[in-house]
Structure 1
């Protein structure tokens, strides 16, 4: 089967809603709420329609489509500059070392401090792949297509980029981290707070969250154990981010304690190593497995295929050429799959 990543359309709302219901909660960027998803699509449409090259506060929603059946099987998102509409809060995990001469002991206390350090960064998020498609490299296609999109529209993105990974969620849909910390101040459970954030923003965090540092020793053991750990389903995503050059720099999500991964945008492997070249031929004579992309903004399309360098040009396979809608002499941006 042939899959392509393309710009989301208004008609994709029903597909996004069905996928959102499969997330199991804790997925702020893909809430199971039709009006919130419709607002995302409207915002994405405006971003794709704007042709200016400068950095702004925008959202791009991409869709994974099975070209043979027309089914939508996944989605991902790119935020060009977080923290412009609402503050972008994170907890920063730090250590305070204190020494007592009289006791002859040194104490090291871990603390969580509320911060907006990452405000102004770009963000890759909202990645969801249908459970029936979690094989064959489609997760990698969805994830890395975002970096090719950034490479092809570099001026629209910031110099720093982040990715938030969902934290530990228990079988009942609750968050040990939320229950041990923020839940004590808000009078609402994790599911309600997460849903409210997804649909109304997180200003309520600024209104009610204590601003002084929280000593982790004061938290429950289950809450402490969840700090900086991804949900089991997100471990593969964390490895992919690390392979791209992202690192965990002690920032965690204020809701579920999941890790926030960061990188310099130009150092992200798929952004840095991608090539742009004209197609000199289209054939089945082999080449390296690659992600190939073509088209600007709403015409962007990305697929898995093969690419073979020939001087300053490239040869790709017919299947991927059809998927991304390109012919000989067309220009593509591509990166190897390895």
Structure 2
């Protein structure tokens, strides 16, 4: 299977740079088997059944983009340089893995100061990035990061505009709880309190799991033979209570529908061959592509994804490659908005 099998033409004007308001007013393409319906996210209750179980990712995006300065003594006196840092993931000992621009200006042992509230020491540098130790930890670190950091918008949005204060709300789900992600579980951004109330009233259930989305989610696939691609690892947590709720739904013949590819990848990682979920707290680098046999998932709510991305491969595995081609051709023709702040799809494979 070649990378070109997952390519399609996408007009740049369909890339969303701001979300719909209210959140649930975004458009929703419903693909159930071979039928396709154009709707709104607020219509979601019309396409679900009482007893369906939605699996939601409760990770919280941290303001992981930082701008600072480093100072170095030279023969001409202290020299300063502006440094842009993007946090990637926690490292052992309270440190953080990060990217930096320009990386070549940094030296091991130097201190980068991000205003008065926060600074970090460069512990190690590699071709891929650096390891930082901050001068605050725990709640003090969270408070300082909130003061000096910016939301880490995806590259395809950041290329079109800079992040601003509105993104601190827009790029966070209404149920975000566990800090640690540097990218949002974007399908969940479409939910607001009125929609959640409507779903609860009709008997749709929901359960929370946690997958801290890493910046690696935006890395391109560089191998033409997709089987040679290696996924980045992300930490996921499925509690005993969440596992029991999912297992009960499956045992009772109710549908399990993750909201977002992150929730889907996590529950599939936590499932055994017989489709039972067990408590899970580990890294997952599961790579779902055509040919994968889904163990737990009965459907998926998700946004529209990048051409030639692993997420295009995932939805192709769920619905079939030709069916996804048709769904995406319809979305482009009907001017659906793409990517993180874009519209949504509800994908239910045929019986």
Q: Normalising to structure 2: TM-score of the pair? A: 0.25
Identify the structure with bigger relative contact order (alpha carbons < 8 Å, sequence gap 6+). Answer: 2
